[in-house]
Amino acid sequence: MSATSAALLTPRVIIPFLLTGTIWGSTWLVITGQIDGVPAAWSVFYRFALATPALFLVAFLMKRRLKLTRPEHMLAALVGIFQFSGNFLFVYHAELYVTSGIVAMMFGLLMVPNALFARIFLGERMQGGFAAGSAVAIVGVSLLLAHEWLSNPEAGVVGGNPGLGIALAMLGIVAASVANVIQANPTGRGVPMVSLLAWAMLYGTVFDLGFALLTAGPPPMPTSHAYWGGIVYLALIGSVVTFPLHYNLVREIGAGRTAYNSILTISVAMALSTLFEGYQWTWLTAGGMVLAVVGMILALRAKQAR
């Protein structure tokens, strides 16, 4: 076993890898409890209203620079609007119509628009292996989406309009991808990641508040303990705890190897969707899942080799 392989098997790598993949995989299902009788826009706001001060506290405890320049604030605002507003608003509304596991599977393809936008705006090149693997993954996800489109509500479509759910999820993917790419510009690289995320989350939360007031009316006050427990879990565990773990993994083993975490996330999300949302497997969906995962692995291996 090489020294690099041995380093990947240490607890400081394995534990954060398993925690982030499992936690992020579970958040897709928890979101479904946040949109049951409560406007999705307000649930997004509540989540980040709690997560934002906690993330600032994390940045402070990590002794990261919190004072930003004007260009850095402008970047943080853009990241916040695309990541913590557009992305999550689209995702929460998508899960009104499509099962959480399928939305998670679609987000496994985030690497594709990431690569395309990075090529356009940052001049990064793509290898042929990445394109080929991505094509295989897209075919696999397309099979899963075809099943959603053809199935009835009992077979896995939550709100009876899978086309709208798929479209909303795609818009969420684009929004997340834009945020990923713009934060990688020279201005973004000069800001500690936790600090940039804290300010971005603050700006996104303010936007979420305005959007919720305009589209959903006065803020509701759910009385369910399960609802507020979900908010706490998504805000503190799903947002604040995982981000430092994730970026520490990037520093320890590199972005390419860390990206394999998406496979674990998808697996957990699909398992939970099967157990709690009644998602039913067929030969079409099983084949789609296999193709999607294999394609993602091929694409990530090619990206790792660059």
Once rounded to an integer, what is the mean pLDDT over residues 292-306? 73
Q: What pLDDT score was predicted for residue 135?
A: 85
* Distance between CA atoms of residues 141 and 10, nearest Å: 33
Of the pLDDT bands very low, low, confident and very high (cuts 50, 70, 90), residue 2 is very low
At residue 81, φ and ψ (nearest 5 deg) are: -70, -40
Count of domains for the chain: 1
User: pLDDT tens digits for 141-170?
Assistant: 888 888 777 764 444 445 567 888 889 999
Question: With 70 as the cut, is the pLDDT of residue 108 above it?
Answer: yes
Residue 250 CB burial class (10 angstroms; 0-12, 13-18, ≥19)? middle
Residues 293, 304, 298, CA angle at the centre, nearest 5°? 25
Q: What is the mean pLDDT of the chain?
A: 84
- Cβ atoms 47, 239 nearer than 8 A: yes
Question: With 60 as the cut, is the pLDDT of residue 278 above it?
Answer: yes
* Distance between CA atoms of residues 117 and 161, nearest Å: 30
Q: What pLDDT score was predicted for residue 9?
A: 59
Q: What pLDDT score was predicted for residue 44?
A: 97
Share of the chain above pLDDT 90, in %: 41
Least confident window among 62-66, 184-188, 206-210: 184-188
Q: CB under 8 Å to 181, separation ≥6 — which residues?
A: 114, 117, 118, 121, 122
Is residue 222 classed as helix, strand or coil in its secondary structure? Answer: coil
What pTM value is reported for the model?
0.85
Residue ranges making up the domain that contains 34: 3-305
- Cβ atoms 24, 272 nearer than 8 A: no
